[in-house]
Amino acid sequence: MNVENEKCVIVVNENLPIGIIANTAAILGITMGMKMPDVVGNDVPDLEGNSHMGIIQFPVPILKGNTEVLKTLRTKLFEPKFAELVVVDFSDLARGCKTYDEFIGKMASTSESELKYIGIAICGNKKQINKLTGNMPLLR
């Protein structure tokens, strides 16, 4: 993998409380890390020789959107031309579940059109991601 041509972004609903935004970014980041292990660098020693786990080799901007922006983005990401991108989404349905089994059951009986996304992480080709998210502002 050529990390110079790769990019990851996280887009979250800016209208949520800060704790939910942080939790959403954490969930998306953990899942993306599992799906994209090649972007995490090797462990790094400090001066004393203590080992620190490797981190992602490039920045991951957190961008802001709203319910409509996230829904439009997720719909675009289902298009075949974006099939090579790794996409992790987090919805209000997932957030409201107490267990993973509950999440599985509810998703099985819910149409995608009913989901309200609260965050989406995207990793892959930098040009494609810039085309999708290049006009979105940073969450500050």
Q: Are 100 and 61 in contact (CB under 8 A)?
A: no
Q: Which residues of 62-86 are buried (b: 16+ CB within 10 A; e: fewer)?
A: bbbbeeebbbebbeebeeeebeebe
The secondary structure of residue 42, as a DSSP letter, is: P
For the cut 90, the answer to whether the pLDDT of residue 37 exceeds it is no
Asked: is 3-133 a CATH 3.40.1490.10 domain? The reply is: yes
Query: What's the N-to-C CA distance of the chain in angstroms?
Result: 30
126 vs 107: CA distance, rounded Å = 30
The 3-state DSSP class for residue 118 equals: strand
- Tokens 């309200």 correspond to 116
CA distance 43 to 71: 37
> Is the predicted pLDDT of residue 1 greater than 70, yes or no?
no
Report the share of the chain in percent with pLDDT over 70.
99
Q: What is the pTM of this model?
A: 0.92
**What pLDDT does 121 receive?**
98
Residue 121: Cβ within 10 Å count:
27
Q: Residue 8: count other Cβ atoms within 10 Å of its Cβ.
A: 24
- CA distances in angstroms from 22 to 10, 76, 77, 124, listed in the order given: 11, 25, 23, 23
Residue 2 banded pLDDT, cuts 50, 70, 90: confident
Domain range list for the chain: 3-133
Under a CB-based contact definition with an 8 Å cutoff, are residues 8 and 99 in contact? no
